[in-house]
Structure 1
Amino acid sequence: MYLKTLHLRHFRNYQEQKIEFNAAKTILVGNNAQGKSNLLEGVELLATLRSHRMARDRDLIRDGDAIAQINATLERANGVCDLTLTLRRHGRRSVAINGETVRRQMDFLGVLNAVEFSSLDLELVRGSPEVRRNWLDTLLIQLEPVYAHILQQYNQVLRQRNAFLKRSQESGVRSQESELAIWDAQLVTAGAKVIRRRDRAIQRLAPIAAAWHGSISGSTEVLQINYAPNVPIGKDQKEEVAQAFLGKIQQRSAVELHRGTTLVGPHRDEVELIINQTPARQYGSQGQQRTLVLALKLAELQLIEEVVNEPPLLLLDDVLAELDLSRQNQLLDTIQDRFQTLITTTHLGAFDSQWLNSSQILFVKSGEISM
């Protein structure tokens, strides 16, 4: 797939900017806080309808404006299409394909595929379990767009069940067992779908990431990625996940009523990253942690390409500065012209002449782009 044009209107610090991409690699050069990352964020939103910065829609709209719009022309094996995302400060976002409004967001997802790699991704190793869940969910949305709907359903039931538990806690009434049973059943139904898909995704991703990790580390380190669901899962997943989930939630119901919140479910899952049988967050240097994150990102690229039968876009946000020379070379050699790549940087020193000669170079200053 190839991103031909990107048009940003009132998005972040862009008033009105249209970019035409004319090379497989585009390098965006500029000082910090000029809008380089904002441009990549616009592409990421078209791919996943999520921002890795976890921004709210109103934070994405330029100060003083009511609406922002991101528009792109994308060329894929089956033809060219036009994508539009409209963000509203006081209202719901909307999406359109070829000018036709799309009612279900999952029908918009999967048209553009992209993998973002930024300095924030080092939190995948060092950060909380929530960071790793968000990473896995964003990947899953691209592998199976229906997952966005499944996750939304789960989170909605979770919010409603938590509200019920909170009311029960505050009122001190413990007699609404029949209503709690209804919320339990709904949470189990939605949550089991989340668990099964997360498990399947990690099973597919883990061996690819381990192979990349071995390659980058010179086979000196062994990477394991384990899905550690809050609800234990067995071999016969379909029946066992739901039964185990229901059993555990019923077992913890008294504690949940006391605390006023849901303590069981995929919102408490963990993804374990293990190097040489030691948890990665406790292991070694920042360089080794960066190797792990680089392996994860290369594995994402490969897995998405295998699933959608086209190479996704690669968005590299100021990440070369975080990598030493050997890891930079590993990444740049892997990319070549296989993936359309948008790279942000504050200077061109990290690139050799061959890369520079085969790349489109754009300069970004105060939300304006020049050649």
Structure 2
Amino acid sequence: MYLKTLHLQQFRNYQEQWVDFLAPKTILVGNNAQGKSNLLEAVELLATLRSHRSPRDRDLIRDGELIGRISATLERQTGITDLSLTLRRNGRRTVALNSENMRRQMDFLGTLNAVQFSSLDLDLVRGGPDQRRNWLDTLLIQLEPVYAHILQQYNQVLRQRNALLKKIQGAEVGNQGLEELAVWNEQLVSAGIRVIRRRSRAIALLAPVAANWHESISGSTEVLQVKYTPNVVWDENPEGLQQAFVEKIGTRAIAEQHQGTTLVGPHRDEIELTINQTPARAYGSQGQQRTLVLALKLAELKLIEEVVGESPLLLLDDVLAELDLHRQNQLLDAIQDRFQTLITTTHLGSFDAQWLKASQILHVESGQITHD
């Protein structure tokens, strides 16, 4: 797939900006806080309807404006598609394909595929389990757009169940409260199972690919293991998962009522990352952690390419400065001409002459983009 144009209106620090992508690689050059990352964020939003930088739409709209819009023209094997995402400070988003508004946002997902790699991704290793869950969920939305709806359903059930547990926290629970909780238990199990199965399947596909990349980058000196550790442990048969989920809810019932929150379910899952059987979070050096994240991102690219049948875009947000020369070369060699790539940087010193010759260079300053 190839992103041909991008049009930003009242988005972040852009008032109105058209960008035509004229080469497989685009290098965005500029000082910090000029709008380079904002442009990549716009592409990420079109791909996943998520931003890894902000969960709130009002933060994405230019100061003083009520509406922001991101539009793009995308060329795929099936033809050319126009995409549009409208953000409202005080209202719902709307998405459109070829000028037709989509009633369900799920129908918009999967049109554009992209893998984002930024310096913030080092938090995949160093951060808490919620960051690794969020990373996996964002990947799953691209592999299987219906997952966005499945995850939304689970989170809605979780919110409702937590609200009930808060209500009965520390109080004498009557029959009515217990009956209502039993209904939410069923829904939590039903929705949670769909999340768990998909996460388990995705990690099973991703883990060996990431391990191969990691072995290559580390010169076969390190073994990476990516393991899904669900909060609900079960044997592999489908009935076993449901039974294990129900039983764990039963064993944690008193603790949940005492704490007023749900203690069982995929919102408490972990994705374990180990190097040579040692937890990367606790013992990995910065170099090891960067190698690990690079391996994960390259595995994401390959997995999306295999599942979708086309190469996704690669968005590199100021990461070359984070990588040493060996890791830079591994990354640039892996990209070559397979993936349309958008790269942000503060200077062009990290690129060799061949890369610069094959790239479109754009200068970004105060939300304005100029061609070289």
Q: CA deviation at 1:171?
A: 4.3
RMSD of aligned residue pairs (Cα, Å): 0.8
Counterpart of 2:203 in structure 1 is 202
Q: Deviations over 1:42-88 (max 9, x none)?
A: 00000000001133000000011000000000000000000000000
Question: How does 1:279-294 map onto structure 2 within 5 Å?
Answer: 279-294=279-294
SS in 2 for 1:96: strand
The question of 1:78 aligning with 2:78 is answered yes
Counterpart of 1:272 in structure 2 is 272
Counterpart of 1:228 in structure 2 is 229
Counterpart of 2:193 in structure 1 is 192
Q: CA deviation at 1:174?
A: 4.7
**Is 167-176 or 103-112 further displaced after alignment?**
167-176
* Partner Cα separation in structure 2 for residue 91 and residue 13 of structure 1: 20
Question: How does 1:42-57 map onto structure 2 within 5 Å?
Answer: 42-57=42-57
Specify whether residues 368 and 104 from structure 1 end up closer, same or farther in structure 2 by C-alpha distance, changes over 3 A only. same
* Partner Cα separation in structure 2 for residue 103 and residue 209 of structure 1: 36
* Partner Cα separation in structure 2 for residue 95 and residue 170 of structure 1: 44
Q: Deviations over 1:19-47 (max 9, x none)?
A: 00000000000000000000000000000
* Partner Cα separation in structure 1 for residue 54 and residue 140 of structure 2: 17
The question of 1:261 aligning with 2:261 is answered yes
SS in 1 for 2:117: strand
The question of 1:308 aligning with 2:308 is answered yes
* Number of aligned residues: 370
Question: How does 1:67-106 map onto structure 2 within 5 Å?
Answer: 67-106=67-106
Q: Deviations over 1:252-295 (max 9, x none)?
A: 11110011000010000000001101011122310011000000
Asked if the contact 2:275–2:284 (Cα under 8 Å) also holds between the matched residues in 1, the reply is: no
Counterpart of 2:38 in structure 1 is 38
- Structure 1 segments (4+ residues) deviating >3 Å: 170-175
The question of 1:111 aligning with 2:120 is answered no
Question: How does 1:20-31 map onto structure 2 within 5 Å?
Answer: 20-31=20-31
Counterpart of 2:365 in structure 1 is 365
Asked if the contact 1:168–1:174 (Cα under 8 Å) also holds between the matched residues in 2, the reply is: no
Segments of 5+ residues of structure 1 without an aligned counterpart are none
Q: CA deviation at 1:243?
A: 1.3
* Partner Cα separation in structure 2 for residue 100 and residue 250 of structure 1: 47
Question: How does 1:58-69 map onto structure 2 within 5 Å?
Answer: 58-69=58-69
Asked if the contact 1:37–1:344 (Cα under 8 Å) also holds between the matched residues in 2, the reply is: yes
TM-score, normalising length from structure 1?
0.99
* Partner Cα separation in structure 1 for residue 170 and residue 72 of structure 2: 49
Q: Deviations over 1:96-119 (max 9, x none)?
A: 000000011111000000000000
* Partner Cα separation in structure 2 for residue 96 and residue 210 of structure 1: 38
Asked if the contact 2:170–2:257 (Cα under 8 Å) also holds between the matched residues in 1, the reply is: no
Amino acid paired to 1:339: F
* Partner Cα separation in structure 2 for residue 305 and residue 229 of structure 1: 26
Q: CA deviation at 1:138?
A: 0.2
* Partner Cα separation in structure 1 for residue 157 and residue 284 of structure 2: 40
Among the aligned pairs, what percent are the same residue? 75
Q: CA deviation at 1:13?
A: 0.3
Q: CA deviation at 1:172?
A: 4.1
Counterpart of 1:148 in structure 2 is 148
Segments of 5+ residues of structure 2 without an aligned counterpart are none
